[in-house]
Amino acid sequence: MVPFDFSLLVNDLHSHLIPGIDDGAKNMADSLVLAKGLQELGYKKAITTPHIMSDYYRNTPEIIKSGLSDLNAELTKENISLEVKPAAEYYIDFDFVNKIGKEELLTFGDKYILVEFSFIEPPKNFKEAFFELQTNGYKPILAHPERYMYWNSNHDFLFELKDRDVLFQTNILSLRGNYGPGVLKTAEVLIKNKMVNFLGTDLHNEYQLNELKQLHLPEGLINNINNLDLLNSIL
């Protein structure tokens, strides 16, 4: 087993650092611990991505930007140099599709946008959602495709999405087996087939931070990761 060098990624694109607006950091103290932890792992920048879900986390760009402004002010006070920028993790449903081309959507880098699916079943309109995003100039990134267990035994849909130019972001803790063996196996398949474009922490809490700090992976898996054309560093 080999320790994972997070500094090679440079930037993280999936985290929940803004306090009190989703299932991530509960308060500012939590946020500071997580941000400092990312810096200590070797990250230079974090794109923080609160959930936006029409029926649960009804965040808006304004709420996210305001929360991040407060967080960045505290990071400056605490001399934490991690650069934190705003984006979101959009839950694909009917309401989301209606926003495309009509409302502000939070993006990062070259108009990248992070989206997620239900963990119970894939949304019926996900093909339409990706088509609309791409037609409007967005570059959709599917968050943690390995975690949608309805695809763990059949990877055909994942290959189909790649054929549609959907980018994939795999959770680093999926590679540690934190979400179960089926998720780990799918993540390994995606990496072996060079289908992963980004690695992300999906950091929510101090427990996950400690898991990241202890991360050791098989040498063969590290070699396969090194063969990926990861885009983290260009964000």
- Where do the structural domains in the chain lie, given as residue ranges? 2-234
| Per-residue three-class SS string for the chain | CEECCHHHCCEECCECCCCCCCCCCCCHHHHHHHHHHHHHHCCCEEEECCEECCCCCCCCHHHHHHHHHHHHHHHHHCCCCCEEEECCEEECCHHHHHHCCCCCCCCECCCEEEEECCCCCCCCCHHHHHHHHHHCCCEEEEECHHHCHHHCCCCHHHHHHHHCCCEEEEEHHHHHCCCCHHHHHHHHHHHHCCCCCEEECCECCHHHHHHHHCCEECHHHHHHHHCCCCCHHHC
Mean pLDDT, consecutive 10-residue segments, the chain of 235 residues? 96 98 98 98 98 92 98 98 98 93 96 97 92 98 98 94 97 98 98 98 98 97 97 96
The whole-number pLDDT of residue 147 equals: 98
The whole-number pLDDT of residue 15 equals: 98
The whole-number pLDDT of residue 54 equals: 87
CATH class of 2-234: alpha beta
